[in-house]
A and B are shown apart, each in its own frame.
Chain A
Amino acid sequence: MSQSAWIEARNLRCERDDRCLFHNLSFTLNSGEILQVAGPNGAGKSTLLRILIGLSAGYEGGLSWMGQDMRAGRYDFLANTLYLGHQPGVKGAMTPEENLIWWQSRFSKAERNSVYAALEQVGLRGYEDIPSYHLSAGQQRRVALARLYLQPPKLWILDEPFTAIDKAGVTRLEQTIVEHAQRGGAVILTTHHELPQSVPVRTLTLGGAQ
């Protein structure tokens, strides 16, 4: 049996407010690949990611996960996918540790040690029991990014992951993304940040270039 692509999109079309964001959009994503969705503001990058993850149903066309229709394979898809949206999805009233423990519960029993290790990776060791609303915007983003280090799922869908992250953090994150792809994972991301030449990235351009 031939290996089917992790994600296959066929002739996606999306309209928003009577304006066609994209049409005839087809692409595949496989193990070991990094796909960058590029395009000007309002080109529909975030919308495309929300369609992929299943938060938005306003599209036509076909989407499949591992050769299976996305709707049929939804639970398997979600069990292998990590989505990071515009909002960090971090509860202000909970500490970073509590946030991550709840988040991890979807995949496995949360181990306090793995949560600590993940926080260490994003430079937040020592902040684990401070309520998250005391953290800066960048630190809250880092709490969200710490999910990448918790027994990571195979597929990462990252919407502007570099927002509010400092220079050192950006380098670290680039490295993490490349390592994830090298380990056989796949990443699809939107960013206006220039990824360095060393990052093997495929680009999908929306809007303007049609």
Chain B
Amino acid sequence: MISLSAAMLATFRRDLLLAYRAKGELLNPLMFFLIVSSLFPLAVSPDPEFLGSIAPGIIWVGALLATLLSLDLLFKADHDDGTLEQFLLMPQPLVFLVLSKILAHWCIAGLPLVIVAPLLGVMLGLPENAYFALMMSLLLGTPILSLLGAIGAGLTVGLKKGGMLLPLLILPLYIPVLIFGASAVQSAGQGMAINGHIAFLGAYLFFTLAVCPLATVAALKLSVAR
């Protein structure tokens, strides 16, 4: 009678529906990503050669900061109106339900970044042979950002002034993703192999996939218990 898949699907659909209803919030991280990346040519140098060499870094830093901005969407509103309590009382294993919330968050916040990234690549003069690496590294990397971010969002959800705490907690864990993601694109642009970078990102993704939902559940329980 009690079905885990039905509850996961219902939670996933609910989060997508809520995101759709609040389109402004949905677009914020994406707009931020676009604005930051498009200001660089104006501020640094419009020289395509120079821009092309720093484009991987710009795009990756932009994606990372945009994800950081969107982490509040994950649990904050649910905590404020009491639906988080009801969520934590679901009789299905919470690890899987949290996973479907994180997946919904990635679809809302991460996937749009991956989709617009090639456009920014064109704007910044990214070398042609780097696009595959850009897409691969973002596809593997942005879910990691959502997964790790969920732990921080869960820990800080009950705090009134948790604004600065969340980035401080999460950034150290984001750094490897940034290093390997950006350098994969850089290497591909210079015609080097990217297998190592992609393998690292893949391994990190599976590691976070296994650990982060568990840690997030523990964090949420702690936050709700006050």
Q: Which residues of A contact B (CB under 8 A)?
A: 53-58, 75-76, 78-79, 81, 83, 85-94, 98, 101-103, 105-110, 131
- Selected contact of B85 from candidates A89, A94, A106, CB within 8 Å: A89
Q: Which residues 1-29 of B sit at the A interface, judged by CB distance below 8 A?
A: 1-3, 6-7, 9-11, 14, 17-18, 21-22
Task: Give the A-binding residues of B (Cβ under 8 A).
Answer: 1-3, 6-7, 9-11, 14, 17-18, 21-22, 81-83, 85-86, 88-93, 221, 224-226
Given A87-B81, A109-B6, are A94 and B21 neighbors across the interface (CB < 8 Å)?
Answer: yes
Q: Judging by beta carbons under 8 Å apart, are B11 and A102 in contact?
A: yes
A-B contact pairs, 28 of them (CB 8 A): A53-B89, A56-B225, A56-B226, A57-B221, A75-B93, A78-B89, A78-B90, A79-B91, A81-B89, A85-B82, A87-B82, A87-B85, A88-B82, A89-B82, A90-B83, A94-B17, A94-B18, A94-B21, A98-B14, A98-B17, A105-B6, A105-B9, A105-B10, A106-B91, A107-B2, A107-B91, A108-B1, A131-B21
- The 4 closest A-B CB pairs, nearest first, are A87-B82, A105-B10, A78-B91, A79-B91
- CB of A57 within 8 A of CB of B225, answer yes
Q: Select from chain B the residue with minimum beta-carbon distance to A102.
A: B14
Please judge, given known A-B contacts A78-B90, A93-B21, whether A55 and B85 are in contact too, CB under 8 Å.
Answer: yes
B88 in contact with A55 (CB, 8 Å): yes
- Given known contacts A56-B226, A94-B18, A107-B2, A101 and B10 CB-to-CB distance under 8 angstroms: yes
Query: Chain B's nearest CB lies how many Å from the CB of A190?
Result: 16
CA separation between A1 and B125, bound complex, in Å? Answer: 77
In the bound complex, residues from chain B placing their C-beta under 8 Å from that of A109 are 3, 6
- C-alpha spacing A102/B16, complex, angstroms: 12
Name A104's closest neighbour in chain B (CB-CB).
B10
Main DSSP-derived SS at the B contact region: helix
Cβ contact within 8 Å between B10 and A110: yes
Q: Which residues of B contact A53 (CB under 8 A)?
A: 89
In the docked arrangement, what's the CA distance between A76 and B91, Å?
7
Once the chains bind, are A91 and B91 in contact (CB under 8 Å)? no
CB neighbours of B3 from chain A (8 A)? 108-109
Q: In whole angstroms, what is the CA distance A81 to B213 when docked? A: 24
A62 CB to closest chain B CB (Å) equals: 19
Q: Which of A91, A105, A108 contacts B81 (CB 8 A)?
A: A91
Q: Can you add 12 more A-B contacts, CB < 8 Å, to A54-B89, A55-B225, A83-B86?
A: A55-B85, A55-B88, A58-B225, A76-B91, A83-B89, A85-B82, A87-B81, A87-B82, A91-B83, A93-B22, A105-B7, A109-B3
Closest to B86 in A: A89
Query: How far, in angstroms, from A109 to B7 measured CA to CA in the complex?
Result: 9
CB of A89 within 8 A of CB of B1, answer no
A73 to chain B, nearest CB (A): 11
Is B1 within 8 A of A107, CB to CB? yes
| Smallest CB separation, A185 vs chain B (Å) | 17
Taking a contact as CB atoms closer than 8 A, the residue among B86, B224, B226 that contacts A103 in the complex is: B86
With A87-B82, A89-B85, A102-B10 as given contacts, are A79 and B18 in contact (CB-CB < 8 Å)? no
Whether the pair A89, B17 counts as a contact (CB closer than 8 A) is no
Most buried by B among A75, A89, A105: A105
Q: Chain A contacts of B6 at CB under 8 A?
A: 105, 109
Q: How far is the CB of A77 from chain B (nearest CB, A)?
A: 8
Q: Are A85 and B14 in contact (CB under 8 A)?
A: no
A75 to B82, CA, bound (A): 21
Closest residue of chain A to B79, judged by CB?
Answer: A87
The answer to whether B81 and A106 touch across the interface, beta carbons within 8 angstroms, is no
List, in ascending order, chain A residues with CB within 8 A of B93's CB. Answer: 75
Chain B residues within 8 Å of A75, by CB: 91-93
Q: Considering the chains assembled together, what is the distance between the CA atoms of A89 and B3 in angstroms?
A: 22
